[in-house]
Structure 1
Amino acid sequence: MDTDAGLVERYLEHVRVGKRLADRTVTLYALDLEKLQARAREAGVALTQVQSHHVRRWVAQMHGAGRSGRGIALILSGWRGFYAWLGREGRIASNPVVDVRAPRSPKPLPKALSVDDSVQLAEFEDGEADPWLEARDAAAVELLYGCGLRVGELVGLDVTASAAARGWVDLQAGEAHVLGKGGKRRSVPVGGKALEALRHWLALRDTAGAWPQQAALFVGRHGTRLSSAALWQRLRRRSLRAGLATPVHPHMLRHSFASHLLQSSGDLRAVQELLGHASIATTQVYTRLDFQHLAQAYDAAHPRAKRKG
């Protein structure tokens, strides 16, 4: 009769040889099954006698000890595969892990810059950079932070409106018209600083090449539409050169736009419309950022919040 250790060894051989899993994956399976054996020994049951209530209790214990929901889910996945194999081998009647789920991990808060850092990035002028690239990147930053655009919406902008355009900026009206998620169009106001940066970029845009037929507002050195990946790279470089401690990506500026607007206005519906969220529940995550900002201000300023060292 197979011992618990013997069953585990047979299963690991099955995934190593029969499923041809990578050595690293097999090692992770072995570690997860070591945890299972330890839990079963503590409960005084053999691996083939484990029931769903045992697994649920062990999940609760792991969660209470601080293991993340994702970490627990990975462990359960390993256990589930082991018991599925035991079922195929005729060693158990039902899989005790099949209906057990890991606790949900709280969604992390979106990363937003402070107001000071956002302004520092927007006002940064890289005197050592190519003036053409500097003008383009500065205009991109102003639109990302000033309008809360997604990176795909930004690089999809054309110079002028047309039937084929996914989006464009009306400089005279001070509005950006973009095509968002789900093919939804929306219009957002463009602030004075962004309009100034755009006019400066447009004055330089075609000086590096003969690209009058290129519809894209933001182009690269070869006259093709600027890609999202290239913009990520440029923004990361620019944020570090501007002296920010955290490398910035485009969506961080969208988060910063929403957070700072909500802090100032408190108008959740308006922020929802400006961001183009289909559901206000998606926008409500920024109220958590707003509360975090208030809590930090309280901790820093209120005499009853200060603790002795």
Structure 2
Amino acid sequence: MNDISPPAISLPFTEQLAAFYAYMRSEKQFSSHTQSNYARDLEKFQQFCMQKSLIALPDLGVNHVRMAVAHLHREGLGGKSLQRWLSSLRSFFQFCVKHGWMKNNIADGISAPKAPKMLPKTLDADQAAQFVQIEGDEFINKRDRALVELIYSSGLRLAEVVSLNLVDIDWSDSMLTVTGKGKKTRILPIGSYAISALKDWLVERKQYTQDNEQALFTTQRGGRISHRAVQMRMQQLSIQQGMDNPVHPHMLRHSFASHMLESSGDLRLVQELLGHSNISTTQIYTHLDFQHLARVYDQAHPRATRKTKNEEE
């Protein structure tokens, strides 16, 4: 989408929104996806204002934004979506303040309800071993074995493993150069099982790939494998390998992080390996680690029988 326009029907402050959309498009040069998100968020607020007969920007106050947040929350909008919605409003109101259409940014200081913290699903060590032990000597078997071994060995994101090239592997030191989010590169170790699977795969790869193809993981047609193809193969492998639940690429990455933290206890190390710019992102794995420790404690300690909250009630 190259152009964002206010809705055709008459809604409040459409002229100001038209100017804001033009500003996003020309000066800020936001992507069409970002522009669409802003448009959807701001239209929600327009609809709310129309229902409350709030037509002009100067009529709006902090209480109206709070009411809109509560309304959208009741409608089922989650904490993260509301945070993004408020961010869109702040940007628009700041634009309006700059142009003298409003005296102050009425969305400043308003926060969305906290989203419940969802712990990532992981495999335990035995389940991970079961998933990556792919049997067979066909092209697809060797490629998939190398692919999942490498994701689990080095904690890669889906986009990272798909974008890998042959030159990214340092075979002498068993290291891998990865380009992650924000085009930041990091160097990661590759485990022995993954190295063995990769070497086996590269022999097979030569039979299907032209010499000038740089992609590490390819299809039988010789081109770079796509994100969707990896996702579909992992869905199929989940059934083939007898997993209880579907395994997706990020679950292997989460499992890598959880297992590394359980073994090393070094949060900074895990942060570096995962390529997280902020350690708070990595800290979610400490919750997984504590859950694991609690289970082990309950099973191992002779006086560890503890009542759960439900039992106490």
Q: Which TM-score band (shorter chain)?
A: 0.5 to 0.7
| Runs of at least 5 residues in structure 1 that lack an aligned partner in the other structure | 1-12, 20-24, 38-48, 81-92, 160-164
Comparing 256-265 and 186-195, the one that deviates more = 186-195
How far, CA to CA, are the matches of 1:235 and 1:254 in structure 2?
Answer: 13
Comparing 149-158 and 223-232, the one that deviates more = 149-158
Partner of 1:113, secondary structure, is coil
TM-score (norm 1): 0.65
Name the count of aligned residue pairs.
Answer: 273
Partner of 2:187, secondary structure, is strand
Offset of residue 297 of structure 1: 4.6
How far, CA to CA, are the matches of 2:307 and 2:234 in structure 1?
Answer: 37
How far, CA to CA, are the matches of 1:199 and 1:102 in structure 2?
Answer: 52
**Does residue 282 of structure 2 align to residue 272 of structure 1?**
no
Partner of 1:157, secondary structure, is coil
For 2:231, the equivalent position in structure 1 comes to 232
Offset of residue 71 of structure 1: 7.0
How far, CA to CA, are the matches of 1:35 and 1:252 in structure 2?
Answer: 44
Offset of residue 76 of structure 1: 8.2
Offset of residue 145 of structure 1: 0.4
How far, CA to CA, are the matches of 1:222 and 1:274 in structure 2?
Answer: 33
**Does residue 123 of structure 2 align to residue 119 of structure 1?**
no
One-letter identity of the residue aligned with 1:153: E
For 1:203, the equivalent position in structure 2 comes to 203
For 1:193, the equivalent position in structure 2 comes to 193
One-letter identity of the residue aligned with 1:224: G
Taking only the aligned residue pairs, the percentage that are identical comes to 40
Verify the 8 A CA contact 2:65 2:107 in the aligned structure 1. Answer: no
How far, CA to CA, are the matches of 1:221 and 1:173 in structure 2?
Answer: 29
Comparing 252-261 and 226-235, the one that deviates more = 226-235
One-letter identity of the residue aligned with 1:252: M
TM-score (norm 2): 0.64
Partner of 1:269, secondary structure, is helix
Greater Cα radius of gyration, structure 1 or 2: 1
How far, CA to CA, are the matches of 2:159 and 2:84 in structure 1?
Answer: 33
Offset of residue 285 of structure 1: 2.4
How far, CA to CA, are the matches of 1:58 and 1:219 in structure 2?
Answer: 49
Partner of 2:194, secondary structure, is helix
Question: CA, structure 1 residues 133+110, in 2 after alignment: closer, same or farther (shift >3 Å)?
Answer: farther
Query: Which of 49, 55, 69 matches 2:79?
Result: 69
RMSD of aligned alpha carbons: 4.9
Summarize the alignment of residues 266-305 of structure 1 with structure 2, pairs less than 5 Å apart.
266-297=265-296, 302-305=304-307
Summarize the alignment of residues 125-274 of structure 1 with structure 2, pairs less than 5 Å apart.
125=135, 131-159=138-166, 165=167, 167-170=168-171, 172-207=172-207, 209=208, 211-274=210-273
Question: CA, structure 1 residues 257+59, in 2 after alignment: closer, same or farther (shift >3 Å)?
Answer: same
How far, CA to CA, are the matches of 1:250 and 1:220 in structure 2?
Answer: 18
Offset of residue 261 of structure 1: 0.3
Question: CA, structure 1 residues 110+226, in 2 after alignment: closer, same or farther (shift >3 Å)?
Answer: farther
How far, CA to CA, are the matches of 1:183 and 1:74 in structure 2?
Answer: 24
Verify the 8 A CA contact 1:155 1:227 in the aligned structure 2. Answer: yes
How far, CA to CA, are the matches of 1:75 and 1:50 in structure 2?
Answer: 17
| Runs of at least 5 residues in structure 2 that lack an aligned partner in the other structure | 1-8, 16-40, 54-58, 91-101
Verify the 8 A CA contact 1:32 1:75 in the aligned structure 2. Answer: no
Verify the 8 A CA contact 1:52 1:100 in the aligned structure 2. Answer: no
How far, CA to CA, are the matches of 2:52 and 2:263 in structure 1?
Answer: 51
One-letter identity of the residue aligned with 2:142: A
Partner of 2:206, secondary structure, is helix
Question: CA, structure 1 residues 247+31, in 2 after alignment: closer, same or farther (shift >3 Å)?
Answer: farther
